[in-house]
Amino acid sequence: MKIEGTQKLHAARVLVYSALTDPNILQRCIPGCESLEKTDENIYAATLKAGVGAIKGTFKGEVRLEDMRPPEHYRIVVEGKGGVGFAKGSADFDLEDQDDATLIKYSGELQIGGTIAGVGQRMIVAAAKMMASRFFAALEAEVMVSAAGGSA
């Protein structure tokens, strides 16, 4: 299934890119992320609690940051398994300056299988959109803190 959209964050592109590639910030912003530990250059072991509807579980897997071109582009690749199934996917993030803000265009593919896949694609897409919205709201809060701290 495809997931795509745009998000505008009110911060400089270099700050937004830095936040999007910082594992500590990502761990705080990704809904349900319990741990994100570096295992190699731009590769992280992740533990995430997630679910759709009544089907919830803990997923363990890997997150890789690829095709990095600061501050304009990168790809994130995620693979995880848990008791309720598996998920794997990738997304490209393109960042553009827009006035005093940064426009993020994201586009990705997600594959899921196992029990969690049985809830139906519409519910999964709705859950993914909700998680993206929560992620970007948390990311903007992190970037605003960084911007305030950087100028103080």
pLDDT tens, residue by residue, 85-132: 999 999 999 999 999 999 999 999 999 999 988 888 888 888 888 999
Q: What is the CA radius of gyration of the chain?
A: 15
SS3 category, 74 = strand
CB-based contact 135:30 (threshold 8 Å) = yes
CA separation for the pair 143, 128 (Å, rounded): 22
pTM of the predicted structure, to 2 decimals:
0.89
Nearest 10 degrees: Cα torsion 108, 65, 24, 149: -90
Q: Which domains does the chain have, with CATH numbers?
A: 2-151 (3.30.530.20)
pLDDT > 90? residue 135 = yes
